[in-house]
């Protein structure tokens, strides 16, 4: 990789197909992820990329609640200018502590390259 993206999206595989049954089920295991990610520590960076800013801040998390046959999505969004974090649901948006982003139902992680 010769260049790192401004926005990094990571999908957590939450659905799996049974080897023998063919049934699809949801994986509900808690996935631990950092709010700050340094790609310089990962093996994806080559020498050209190492000269770039490699620090990323989590700016959003999409959660899936429910099972394979149905469910509900919510999202956490971080405002980088104000430093505030919000939970968005169907009928409301409320300010929350950034630690709330570490939701046990995380499905998509969005990281923005930190200014520098």
Q: What is the pLDDT along the chain (116 residues), one digit of tens a residue?
A: 467 889 999 998 877 777 676 677 777 778 889 999 988 766 665 555 555 678 899 999 999 887 777 789 899 999 988 989 999 999 999 999 999 998 778 989 999 998 87
The verdict on residue 59 lying in a domain is yes
Q: Domains in the chain: how many in total?
A: 1
pLDDT of residue 66: 77
The angle at the Cα of 3, spanning 79 to 10, to the nearest 5 degrees, equals 50
pLDDT of residue 1: 47
The verdict on residue 1 lying in a domain is no
The verdict on residue 70 lying in a domain is yes
The verdict on residue 41 lying in a domain is yes
Q: Which domain holds residue 42?
A: 7-113
The verdict on residue 2 lying in a domain is no
């Amino acid at each position: 990789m010769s260049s790192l993206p401004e926005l990094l999206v990571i999908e957590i595989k939450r659905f799996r197909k049974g080897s023998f049954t063919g049934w699809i089920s949801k994986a509900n295991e808690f996935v631990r992820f950092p709010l700050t990610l340094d790609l310089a520590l990962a093996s994806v960076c080559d020498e050209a990329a190492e000269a770039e800013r490699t620090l990323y801040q989590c700016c959003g998390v999409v959660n899936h609640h429910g099972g394979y046959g149905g469910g509900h999505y919510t999202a956490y969004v971080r405002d980088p200018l104000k430093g505030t974090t919000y939970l968005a649901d169907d009928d409301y948006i409320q300010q929350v502590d950034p630690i709330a982003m570490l939701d046990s139902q995380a499905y998509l992680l969005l990281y923005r390259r930190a200014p520098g």
